[in-house]
Copies of this chain bind each other. A is one copy, B any other.
Amino acid sequence: MASASFTITELEKLHAFACDLARHAGKYLREDQVRRQKKALETREKLNSVDLVTDADESVEKLIREAVLSQYPDHAFIGEESYSAGEEKRFLLKDGPTWIVDPIDGTVNMVHMFPMTAISIGFCLNSIPTVGVVFAPFLGGHGSLYSAIHHSQGGAWLSEFGPEGPVIPLPIISPPPPLPKDAPKGCLFFGEWGKDRRDSPQSNLTKKSTNFINMATEIGGRGGKGGMVHGVRSLGSSTMDMVYIASGQGDIMFEAGCWEWDVCGGIAILLQTGGIVVDSNPPENIDETSPIPMANLGGRRYLAIRACSEDADGRSPREQQERLVREVWKRTERLNYERPM
């Protein structure tokens, strides 16, 4: 089908199904961790030693894919592991109902038992992330489940007490405060070092570190690029970075090199709470007043800004967010991530 519409009732049912599924997958991962306490994790390496894939990754994707296609046999399914194993590298999102899933984001963290690991389940309609579920099974005893239905009658929620426990609505402060007046000064900035570790002046590692240093440096430093953010955070999970911005637990996520399955679930939550996500490289020919388009979901470059309220000078949320996007663009170098053709 070329496009599709779902009623809020249908989306609520789909959201509940996706939450159950994420918790089920999380339970599998917690049990898997217990098994690993007996025996060091056996890994197969892909690309280089940083990019580890575990059997758990493939098992969890299979579990989710089979459940989704059993419940919704006519929906499309894009998953990290099947993408990596396949030959087709183009971004194939069509307008029909499509699930975009990362079985484990933060695999390196999981290998080291660092709890910033998440299962990300996104569901798109008309190419827009519409339902998002991100479950971090090791974050707290019951895990932390962030989810949303992106719809005028939808909502966004955080559940940290298990499936029967209370939920809190997102964003976590409501209404969300305005962005800091001199943002990026005063912002909490999230970015990742990534897997491309080549040492050359134009490498992504070099550019990313330049970006981090610019954002951290005092105002006036780095040739005027100093951003004096409150803090630079690197969690090793772009999925978790995105949900922290989506929930208002951080202000800026600047990330490139990750994929649609890393962020699709988080973007559904971000859109519902009122955040925006754009290309982390400024589009060609954009000037100071052009409206800034939403990021291409398959573009591998994401700059997300949290939701905010009108500020004391009467600037709308969108004005503040677009202003901050331009300020971040001024302080960051274009990264070389493209999609393999």
Partner-B contacts on A (CB < 8 A): 36-37, 40, 49-50, 52, 108-109, 111-116, 139-144, 160-162, 165, 172-174, 177, 185-186, 188, 193, 197-199, 205-206, 209, 212-213, 216-218, 220-222, 226, 228, 230-236, 244, 247-251
Chain B residues positioned under 8 Å from A226 (CB to CB): 197, 199
User: In the complex, given contacts A114-B244, A188-B236, A206-B213, what are 9 additional A-B residue pairs having Cβ atoms less than 8 angstroms apart?
Assistant: A49-B186, A52-B230, A112-B230, A112-B231, A115-B249, A140-B140, A193-B231, A231-B236, A234-B234
**Copies of this chain, count:** 2
Secondary structure at the A interface, as helix, strand, loop or mixed, is loop
Do residues B177 and A165 form an inter-chain contact, with CB atoms below 8 A?
no
Asked whether A172 and B250 contact (CB < 8 A) given A139-B140, A233-B236, A234-B234, the answer is no
Q: Shortest CB–CB separation between residue A56 and chain B, in angstroms?
A: 15
Do residues B49 and A185 form an inter-chain contact, with CB atoms below 8 A?
yes
Do residues B161 and A230 form an inter-chain contact, with CB atoms below 8 A?
no
Do residues A108 and B188 form an inter-chain contact, with CB atoms below 8 A?
yes
Expressed in whole angstroms, the Cα–Cα distance for A236 and B231 within the complex equals 7
Chain B residues positioned under 8 Å from A235 (CB to CB): 233, 235
